[in-house]
Structure formats: structure tokens, C-alpha cells
Amino acid sequence: MPPLPPLTDLLDAAHVVTLPLRRRFRGITEREALLLRGPAGWGEFAPFLEYGPVESARWLDAGIEAAWRGFPPPRRERVEVNATVPAVDAADVPAVLARFPGCRTAKVKVAEAGAGFAVRLAQDVARVAAVREALGPRGAVRVDANAGWSVEQAFEALTVLGAFGLEYAEQPCATLEEMALLRRRLAAAGTPVPLAADESVRKAEDPLRVAGLEAADVVVVKVAPLSGVARALEVARSCGLPVVVSSALDTSVGLAAGTALAAALPDLPHACGLGTAALLAADVSAEPLLPVGGSLPVGPARADPELLERHRAPADRERWWRERLAAAHAVLARDAAAGPPAGPPFKDGRRTADS
């Protein structure tokens, strides 16, 4: 691996911003991010606020890759993307989809925390029905529960939602074991809803377990939680399942890393979840990565100095992010000093996510 840039270089290259969202998403109304400018371009460090230094270090490694190392060569010039529909009222669905022109695939958030299961399911059904009506019979509709259901709840919900012809259900339950059980139950009941693994891939130490447990039909891969494009490519190859590249509510700088991964994959059978700049009310790029004709161009994104200054985070938040950067850098420096892990770097003949 290339040497780790000194912390002073990263701090000198850092810009912290606060960007408003159009609607509440993942329980937040603003997205904070730290942007890095390096010799290879711009990178992003924006782990969610609850993540500690060890998990955040992977996100920093991804930002360093983008700004200091660059990406592998692309195999395609554009990447098809899906619309993302937050947990809005069914009446608001057309307005949300209008921000994703040309997208023929929509990911619908379900299992939002709050009311009881029956009330939430009724809201989810109405929302998915509105999306299906808007896209028509040829559109692809997928749902994302963000691990919000138990196995019993997921089975009940997907039995109902499956009537809308779902492309797949993303992370219906929290663990791979639960997803494997759910997948068997759905198959036995004749409910044809494929499952996609997201959180259980980006947080698991061994992504090969997804295929080994037969817990999913699709793997959702995000660049930042997997330490960058190069490592994410390894994970995609190791899983041996169809891959969907998704975002973590990134700015256009982070989304450019996602398109770099999608463009480098040998096969890309599904639309990717990289159109999420449409969820931001502001961005750091003068030319934000917004869907045109249902796809995004592949190439670097540049942060605009005027926008960085306009959306500069308050002093206390900037200080907090810089301290967070230092803590994540310390983890990467410790790992670099320790050298390669002891023992064989492969499992079953294939590289693991953290080897």
C-alpha cells in the first residue's frame, strides 16, 4: 500500500461543510462532511456521527484513496442509477420522483422507526403502491428496510409488498443468519422476493459469509465503509454475487468514488443507488452529480471554493471533525505500523475484506 499521508497534510487539506437535506433522511436534516484536496483530486471523509475511530478509519482510507491515489480505470462511461424515495407520505411520491429524471428504478425506504408495525406497514404499502403507479409495470421497485424488521415482521411485510413485483428487498433484518432464515421461509411460501445484503456486508469482518450462508441474492456495496474503491472491488469479487453500488448520503465528491467503483466492475446488472445528491438541498460541487436520463457520468468531482465557504460548518463542528480525522488517522497509522496481519491473508483461497 502507498504510504499514509501525514496528519498535518490532511488537516491542511481539510474543509468541513454542513449541507441541508430536502427532507429528513436517516433521522437527520443536515449532512456534515469533511472534504480533502490531494494530489489526485478531491476525497470525502463523512462517516455517520455515531461511528467510532476504528470504523471511521475505513472512511478516511477511502477519502485518502480518492485524493492521493486515484481510482482504477473505468469499463463504462455512465452508470444507471435509481431514484431514492424516503419514508414520505404516498401523496408526496410524485414530487420526490421528479427529482430523479429518467430513472426507471426506485428504492423505497420502509420500516421507518416510529409508529407500531401495523401502522408502519400500511404506510409502506401505500408508498410502494404510489411508486409502482408512477413507474408503471416496467419500472423496477426495490425496498430498503435498513434492518428494521424481525424475521416474522419481514416475512409478513414482504408477503404483502411482494405483490408489487419487487426487484429485491434490501437488508430486511439485522443479521445474515436472520436473512438466511427469511430467505428460506420466503422460498418455501412461494413468495418471490430476492434479498439484498447491505449493512451486514459493510460491517461484517468476512463478506464471504453472505454467499456461504445463502443469505442474499444481491450484495450492496458502498465505497467509504469498505476503505475505498480498490478494496470494494475485492469484496465484490469475493462475494460472487451480483453487486449494486450505493452511496452513504455522500456529497458529489463521495458519489464520484461510487461511480468509479460501478464503472470498474466487470458486470453491473442493476441500477446503482448513486443518485442521492438529489436528496441534498445544497452540494459542494458547482456541477453536482444529479441523474440525467436516469444515469450519472463517470469522472472526478471537484469541490467549489465558493460553495465550501458558503456551507462551511460552524467553528465547534469544524473542530469536532478535525479531531475525528485525527483519531481515524491514528488508527490507520497504527495498522500501518503493525504491518500485514499474522497468518494467511486469504480464507478459502480468497482475500477477505480486512486482509
Shared domain for 319 and 172, answered yes or no, is: no
Domain assignment of residue 2, yes or no: no
Is 109 considered catalytic here? yes
* Axis crossing angle, helix 53-64 with helix 315-338, rounded to the nearest 10: 90
- Residue with cell string 468509479: 260
Q: What is the mean pLDDT of residues 199-210?
A: 69
What pLDDT is stored for residue 208 in this prediction?
Answer: 73
Shared domain for 64 and 111, answered yes or no, is: no
Q: What is the mean pLDDT of residues 267-277?
A: 96
**Strand intervals (E) in the chain:** 14-25, 28-38, 41-45, 78-80, 83-85, 105-109, 140-144, 166-170, 195-197, 218-222, 243-246, 295-297, 346-347, 350-351
Shared domain for 22 and 90, answered yes or no, is: no
Shared domain for 98 and 145, answered yes or no, is: yes
- The annotated binding site for Mg(2+) is made up of 144, 170, 198
Q: Are 81 and 272 within 8 A, CB to CB?
A: yes
What pLDDT is stored for residue 189 in this prediction?
Answer: 97
pLDDT digits (tens, 9 = 90+) for 274-312: 999 999 999 999 999 999 999 999 999 999 999 999 999
What pLDDT is stored for residue 353 in this prediction?
Answer: 31
What pLDDT is stored for residue 349 in this prediction?
Answer: 33
Of all residues in the chain, what percent carry a pLDDT higher than 90?
85
Shared domain for 249 and 263, answered yes or no, is: yes
3-class SS of residue 76: coil
pLDDT surpassing 50 at residue 260: yes
Is 347 considered catalytic here? no
This prediction's pTM: 0.90
Shared domain for 142 and 283, answered yes or no, is: yes
pLDDT surpassing 90 at residue 343: no
Strand arrangement of the beta sheet that strand 83-85 belongs to:
83-85, 105-109, 140-144, 166-170, 195-197, 218-222, 243-246
Range of the domain at 21: 7-70+306-338
pLDDT surpassing 50 at residue 344: no
Q: Which of 107, 203, 222, 347 is catalytic?
A: 222
Counted domains in the chain: 2
Shared domain for 245 and 200, answered yes or no, is: yes
What pLDDT is stored for residue 205 in this prediction?
Answer: 55
What pLDDT is stored for residue 206 in this prediction?
Answer: 58
What pLDDT is stored for residue 146 in this prediction?
Answer: 93
Shared domain for 32 and 148, answered yes or no, is: no
- Residue with cell string 494530489: 39
CATH of the domain at 203: 3.20.20.120
Shared domain for 112 and 184, answered yes or no, is: yes
